[in-house]
Amino acid sequence: ASINVSKSVNDAQLMSVSAASPVSKLVDDVQLVSVSAAPSSPQHVISSVPKGPRETSSTETLFLGSSESIKCLDVYPLELRFPWEPNTRITCPVTLTNRTDHCVGVWITPICQDPCSDLHFLVLWEGKRREVPCSTLYRRVGAHSTLVLQMTMEEKQLPPPPRKVGKFEVVMIDLGSEHVLVRSDLKVKLNYDFLKSMKESGREIHRAMLRAVICDPSSCQAAMTHKLVPVTSTQSEYRSFIDAHPTETWILMGDTKGWVSVWNYQTQERMMVMKVTKVDTGETCSVHSIKFIAGEQWFAAGDDDGWVHVYAYTTKDKIKEFEAHRGKAIDSLAVHPMGRPFLLTSSANDTSIKLWDWSKNWMCTQTFDVLSNRGVFRLKWNRGDTNTFSGVSFDKKIKIWNIDSTYPVTTLEESYNNDYLFLGSHERLMVTACNQEPLVEGFDSACIWDLQTEKRVHNLGMRGDTSVIACHPTLPLLATLLEYRIVCLWDARTYR
């Protein structure tokens, strides 16, 4: 159930208030009027969680402020499920989303029913053990941003007691545009006076309860983990490059030793292996980029001397080799995603990008100017507008070209990786790894851009390698890499 509150809280809705917390003391200062049904949104309700000494209600979420706050401030998931395995470090990410125009402060406090609980001593935030297990963790989330925090359970030989439950109170407060916190570790105490001042100034206050549970891996459908088995080339000390087939469960790999192989990542079997060689001399070529040309059952490999080699991966026959960037390693290839016979090539040491048409015997039909003293890398076609493509320049800019224009039509500043994000037939979005001021000190950012307005619409902050970004070609899904080689799959509509 939720509680409607009148007078000084603007008809606030109250749910699950801890009797000893500053939030509950603030609630005691207002007049309780009536009880209504809890919000239907599943992210705000958890059922069947045992009550602790600090809890006076069976519900699990508190909300003070306008009704828009439920849409603007979000904690997800509310149940952290740890699929326990012996001697294994287990991590569960929590997303804190702020859709307001202001900075939001977040306080996470363990509800320590038993200070000696195994779960509280096992749980780490951001890979670090808390000096005081029941102390409050404070973080700041910027406007229109989502912050990922990782709760980690350390390795242990024996499992915790069955159905062990750990609980955490999360309070999110709109700090207002004038309230600037430049460091996340500033000691902003969540006490009664601070909460009262926030309420009196009309700030939004949102509270949620997290619970952490131990579960059997076979029953933890919400926490799927996969061990990554490395697939290496014959000479693992050489640099490797990969591509994924658009429809098959295949990975194409090439390395600077000249080896190329195709693997089935479901069966983890190698389906084909060969070496890339020059036609006239038989000399082995050092592979620096590689791509499937799936519609023709080919692959293209760029070497360190500026040549492109095209093979049929079913027969290993060479289809074509041609010089694309004389004497300069080809660092990036991009095959048109919608079946047009186009291949883009670029080199870090060449200030031009070239478009090749294999239906015209691999003729170069267009050259694009990078407008920089070096080339670009990470070429990508836009599936939403297949006449455009992008590349990352070495001055950390994302540049976008139209195939009918020699010069870039759009430039996004301070970014060093990108992918096109599908969110609807009329929306043109791009995700980039950003060099902007981080949302929280020590965190990296991935930024979502509206390509029509050339403005950021949302930021994703996390500890990890934000240079690793991938988007699903036809679904609103994107993947980022967190610490400890954890891949985080996002719903781009909800930022969860």
Structural element, H or E, at residue 490 = strand 487-491
pLDDT category, 58, cuts 50, 70, 90? very low
Domain at 2-215, CATH class: mainly beta
One DSSP character per residue, 290-345 reads EEEEGGGTEEEEEETTSEEEEEETTT--EEEEEESSTTS---EEEE-TTS-SEEEE
Mean pLDDT for the stretch of residues 220-239: 49
Average pLDDT of every residue of the chain: 76
Q: How far apart are CA 209 and CA 205, in angstroms?
A: 14
Q: What is the pLDDT of residue 153?
A: 75
pLDDT at 437: 57
- Residues 295-349 have pLDDT tens digits of 999 999 999 999 999 999 999 999 999 999 999 999 999 999 998 999 999 999 9
Alpha-carbon distance 234 to 260, whole Å? 10
CA gap 208, 214 in Å, rounded: 20
Report the C-alpha gap between 325 and 29 in whole angstroms: 73
Between CA 153 and CA 162, with CA 156 as vertex, the angle to 5 degrees is 80
Burial class of residue 224, CB neighbours in 10 A (0-12, 13-18, 19+): exposed
- DSSP-based three-state secondary structure for 216: coil
Cis amide linkage into residue 77, ω under 30° from 0 = yes
Q: Look up residue 461 and give its two tokens.
A: 């902050």
Question: Which of helix, strand or coil describes residue 34?
Answer: strand
Sequence spans of domains, the chain: 2-215, 415-496
| Contact yes or no for 437/455 (Cβ under 8 A) | no
User: For the segment 389-416, what is each residue's pLDDT rounded down to a tens digit?
Assistant: 999 988 888 999 999 999 999 998 777 7
How many Cα atoms occupy the beta-carbon half-sphere of 108 within 13 Å?
22
121 touches 166 (CB < 8 A): no
Query: Hey, is 193 helix, strand or coil?
Result: helix
Cβ–Cβ < 8 Å for 374, 393: yes
pTM higher than 0.85, yes or no?
Answer: no
Residue 111: what residue type? I
Residue 285 sits at φ, ψ, to 5 deg, of: -105, 140
pLDDT digits (tens, 9 = 90+) for 111-141: 765 544 544 434 555 556 666 667 788 888 8
- Confidence (pLDDT) at 403: 95
Contact by Cβ (8 Å): 332, 289:
yes
User: What's residue 25's pLDDT?
Assistant: 57
C-beta of residue 295 within 8 angstroms of C-beta of residue 247: no
Sign of dihedral through CA atoms 211, 217, 218, 220? Answer: positive
User: How open is the CA angle 244-249-252, to the nearest 5 degrees?
Assistant: 35
Q: How far is CA 1 from CA 34, 196, 302, in A?
A: 10, 24, 63
Measured distance CA(159)–CA(111) in Å, rounded: 21
Query: In whole angstroms, how far apart are CA 33 and each of 3, 7, 13, 204?
Result: 8, 10, 11, 20
Q: How far apart are CA 239 and CA 434, in angstroms?
A: 26
Separation CA 384–CA 452 (nearest Å): 13
CA pair distance 131, 111, nearest whole angstrom = 16
> What token pair was written down for 173?
């407060």
Dump pLDDT digits (tens) for 358-383.
999 999 999 999 988 888 888 999 98
